[in-house]
Amino acid sequence: MKTLSVAQVKTHLSSLLKEVEGGNEIAISFGKKKQTIAVIISYDEYKRNKKRQLGTLKGKMKVIFNDNSSITDEELFSK
């Protein structure tokens, strides 16, 4: 992974985007300490690594258990 300052990224953005399109990652450093603050990756890589958010159906569905259910608690919670 190549690390560049913000000024270098601004100067060479077009060529860096071509590198990212080719599968490379570009880290961006900022400040006097040149601390890495961001990484540019391809959109395909972003989509592949994006984690699924839980709770997207919250409030949109209900689960109802009948009182006459024949399954025991142990059966319900077993692997």
Q: Which residue has the higher pLDDT, 40 or 54?
A: 40
Q: What is the pLDDT of residues 10-41, one digit of tens each?
A: 999 999 999 999 999 999 999 999 999 999 99
Which strand (E) or helix (H) includes residue 38? strand 35-40
d(CA 13, CA 63): 51
On whether the pTM is more than 0.85, the answer is no
Question: With the CA atoms of 60, 48, 43 and 3 taken in that order, what torsion angle do they form, in degrees rounded to the nearest 10?
Answer: 130
Residue 36 bridge partners (DSSP): 29
Each as own residue / partner, the long-range contacts of residues 20-25 (CB below 8 Å, 24 or more positions apart, any chain) are 25/1
Q: Please give the pLDDT value at position 63.
A: 75
